[in-house]
């Protein structure tokens, strides 16, 4: 197993020659065109790291750089104590499950799973470095003799076929992975006889069976239905814990990120916004982007005026902050700040100057809870501030109702409007 270190990674895709302006030198792409910029990320040995971010932010590109399928433009990639910048993919001891998985169409599920294992061993034998698996399967006869035995006994009934220790080990690994992913009944089928979700699990199994130093997974559950997705999610986590394989898992689904990751790296527009544990991201987002991306429905934002020591004012309400905010807010006296409050941290309260008067525009009853889309009173249509609120499911609310919403004082967030950076409370008071 191994630690993976990404040091100051940049990636720029070279445009075609015809696209280059006459003045731009060969190989000196414009830095602003970089798809990935200044990526620093250390994934600990055995850690489950999730990369999350909106479509097009560079998640797949980063995985492809780590796997060696794309060249980095600048920076270093370490796997264990090896600098792998220029190593070809097969020498990196990394297995990747792609967003668009590809199975060998002419091979059964069993053969698809076994293929990766055989290839890994072959590569390690050729490079003179026996893999961990190869070392565990003691060899008693030369491989040419083994191959001959396998070929000549292949047509015989199963009990009489020759199976080398290596084939027995492959068989064991194929079955153990198939069992975990619930694809054992499918082992004899061809890929064309599988549903999309089944194919995806086979692709996942093929990567896992190889027992690499590092797994890279690019949205491996995107074709599964909700139930299978939740099941497979926990199977992957369980298996990863058992194997202790360093894993980098890409998704744009924040539930997946929150439930699977030891830590999550939130990306936007080619840059990492924050790296933290799931709950740290939820409770202490570093900036407005993270605050909005993590949590569903997303956090609400409102512009407010701040007056020292602790007063937030808005046309429609005046709110006194808890004292813990005083030291960090001193320098913002008289300025506009962005107040952030999650739907679950607003509640229906009594008429009061500190509460927000709103009108209900939409009611979404999910059974277990109800979400309201509301609009702050007084806000004109051109200055419409929609807010989302979560209320208990037994509260009867109808479209058009007027409500007063109370803010949970110790759950609110404040951001600098220009930079979007969070104004952080000292940790002990958070």
Ligand X SMILES: Nc1ncnc2c1ncn2[C@@H]1O[C@H](COP(=O)(O)OP(=O)(O)OP(=O)(O)O)[C@@H](O)[C@H]1O
Stretch of residues binding ligand X (CB under 6 A), selected from 56-64, 131-139, 176-184, 390-398:
56-64
Is 251 near Mg ion (CB under 5 A)?
Answer: no
- Residue 60: how many CA atoms within 13 Å on its side-chain side? 12
Instruction: Pick one of 9, 57, 214, 258: the residue that binds ligand X (CB under 6 A).
Output: 57
Stretch of residues binding Mg ion (CB under 5 A), selected from 52-60, 204-212, 368-376, 393-401:
52-60
Q: Which is nearer to ligand X, 61 or 240 (CB)?
A: 61
Stretch of residues binding ligand X (CB under 6 A), selected from 57-65, 86-94, 158-166, 333-341:
57-65
Rounded-to-integer distance, Cα 298 and Cα 373, Å: 12
Q: Is 418 helix (H, G, I), strand (E, B) or coil?
A: coil
Q: Which is nearer to Mg ion, 63 or 389 (CB)?
A: 63
Q: Which is nearer to ligand X, 252 or 345 (CB)?
A: 252
Q: Which is nearer to ligand X, 61 or 112 (CB)?
A: 61
Stretch of residues binding Mg ion (CB under 5 A), selected from 58-66, 197-205, 403-411, 421-429:
58-66
Buried b or exposed e, range 104-125, using 16+ CB within 10 angstroms = eeeebbbbbbbbbbeebbeebe
What string marks each residue from 198 to 237 as x (binds ligand X by CB under 6 A) or -? Answer: ----------------------------------------
Rounded-to-integer distance, Cα 237 and Cα 249, Å: 11
Element housing 348 (H / E):
strand 346-349
Rounded-to-integer distance, Cα 385 and Cα 373, Å: 10
The phi, psi pair for 324, rounded to 5°, reads: -55, -25
Rounded-to-integer distance, Cα 211 and Cα 173, Å: 9
Rounded-to-integer distance, Cα 414 and Cα 404, Å: 21
Q: Which two tokens stand for residue 374?
A: 């509301």
Is 252 near ligand X (CB under 6 A)?
Answer: yes
**Which residues, numbered 23-52, are part of the site for ligand X (CB under 6 A)?**
35
Is 56 near ligand X (CB under 6 A)?
Answer: yes
Instruction: Pick one of 34, 41, 43, 61: the residue that binds ligand X (CB under 6 A).
Output: 61
CB of 191 to Mg ion, least distance (A): 22
Is 268 near Mg ion (CB under 5 A)?
Answer: no
Element housing 426 (H / E):
none
Is 380 near ligand X (CB under 6 A)?
Answer: no
Instruction: Give the one entry of ligand X, Mg ion, none that residue 35 binds, where binding means its C-beta sits below a cut-off of 5 to 8 angstroms depending on kind.
Output: ligand X
CB of 72 to Mg ion, least distance (A): 17
Q: Which two tokens stand for residue 354?
A: 């500190």
Instruction: Give the one entry of Mg ion, ligand X, none that residue 164 binds, where binding means its C-beta sits below a cut-off of 5 to 8 angstroms depending on kind.
Output: none
Is 60 near Mg ion (CB under 5 A)?
Answer: yes
**Which residues, numbered 75-114, are part of the site for ligand X (CB under 6 A)?**
99
Stretch of residues binding ligand X (CB under 6 A), selected from 58-66, 72-80, 82-90, 144-152:
58-66
What string marks each residue from 293 to 332 as x (binds ligand X by CB under 6 A) or -? Answer: ----------------------------------------
Instruction: Pick one of 29, 58, 116, 205: the residue that binds ligand X (CB under 6 A).
Output: 58
Q: Which two tokens stand for residue 93?
A: 């001891």
Q: Which is nearer to ligand X, 23 or 55 (CB)?
A: 55
Q: Which is nearer to ligand X, 114 or 267 (CB)?
A: 267
Size, binding site for ligand X by CB under 6 A: 12
Stretch of residues binding ligand X (CB under 6 A), selected from 55-63, 119-127, 181-189, 350-358:
55-63
Strand ranges (DSSP E) for 111-205? none
- Give me the DSSP letters along 44-88: -TT-EEEEE-STTSSHHHHHHHHHTSS--SEEEEEETTEE-TT--
Confirm if 407 and 341 have CB atoms less than 8 A apart. yes
Is 61 near Mg ion (CB under 5 A)?
Answer: no
Rounded-to-integer distance, Cα 41 and Cα 4, Å: 8
Instruction: Give the one entry of ligand X, Mg ion, none that residue 252 binds, where binding means its C-beta sits below a cut-off of 5 to 8 angstroms depending on kind.
Output: ligand X
Pairing assessment for the beta strands 271-276 and 300-307 based on DSSP bridges: unpaired
Question: Contacts from 269-273 at CB under 8 Å and sequence distance 24+?
Answer: 269/57, 269/58, 270/34, 270/35, 270/36, 270/37, 270/57, 270/58, 271/36, 271/37, 271/38, 271/39, 272/39, 272/40, 272/41, 273/53
Confirm if 355 and 404 have CB atoms less than 8 A apart. yes
Rounded-to-integer distance, Cα 231 and Cα 354, Å: 44
Pairing assessment for the beta strands 246-251 and 48-52 based on DSSP bridges: parallel
Binding site for ligand X (CB under 6 A): 13, 35, 53, 55-61, 99, 252
């Amino acid at each position: 197993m191994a630690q993976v270190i990404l040091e100051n990674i940049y990636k720029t895709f070279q445009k075609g020659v015809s696209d280059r302006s006459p003045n731009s030198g060969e190989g000196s792409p414009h830095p602003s065109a970089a798809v990935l910029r200044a990526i620093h990320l250390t994934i600990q040995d055995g850690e489950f790291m999730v990369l999350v971010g909106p479509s097009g932010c560079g998640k797949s590109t980063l995985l492809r750089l780590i796997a060696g399928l794309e060249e980095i433009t600048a920076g270093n990639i370490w796997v264990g104590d090896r600098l792998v910048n220029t190593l070809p993919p097969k020498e990196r001891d990394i297995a990747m499950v792609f967003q668009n998985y590809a199975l060998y169409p002419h091979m059964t599920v069993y053969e698809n799973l076994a293929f990766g294992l055989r290839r890994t061993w072959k590569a390690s034998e050729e490079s003179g470095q026996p893999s961990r698996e190869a070392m565990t399967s003691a060899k008693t006869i030369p491989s040419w003799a083994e191959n001959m035995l396998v070929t000549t006994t292949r047509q015989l009934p199963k009990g009489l076929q020759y199976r080398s220790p290596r084939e027995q080990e492959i068989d064991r690994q194929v079955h153990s992975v198939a069992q975990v992913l619930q694809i054992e009944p499918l082992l004899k089928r061809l890929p064309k006889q599988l549903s999309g979700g089944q194919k995806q699990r086979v692709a996942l199994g093929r990567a896992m069976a190889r027992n690499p130093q590092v797994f890279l997974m690019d949205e491996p559950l995107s074709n599964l239905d909700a139930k299978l997705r939740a099941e497979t999610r926990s199977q992957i986590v369980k298996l990863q814990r058992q194997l202790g394989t360093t894993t980098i898992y890409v998704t744009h689904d924040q539930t997946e990120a929150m439930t699977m990751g030891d830590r999550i790296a939130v990306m936007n527009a080619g840059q990492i916004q924050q790296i933290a544990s799931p709950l740290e991201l939820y409770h202490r987002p570093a900036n407005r982007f993270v605050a909005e991306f993590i949590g569903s429905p997303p956090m609400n934002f409102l512009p407010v005026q701040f007056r020292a020591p602790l007063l937030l004012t808005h046309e429609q309400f005046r709110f006194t902050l808890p004292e813990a905010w005083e030291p960090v807010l001193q320098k913002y006296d008289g300025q506009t700040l962005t107040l952030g409050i999650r739907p679950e941290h607003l509640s229906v309260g009594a008429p009061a100057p500190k509460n927000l008067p709103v009108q209900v525009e939409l009611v979404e009853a999910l059974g277990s809870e109800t979400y309201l889309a509301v609009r702050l009173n007084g806000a004109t249509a051109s200055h419409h501030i929609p807010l989302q609120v979560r209320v208990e499911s037994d509260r009867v609310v109808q479209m058009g109702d007027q409500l007063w919403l109370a803010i949970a004082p110790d759950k609110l967030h404040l951001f600098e409007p220009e930079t979007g950076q969070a104004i952080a409370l000292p940790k002990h008071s958070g």
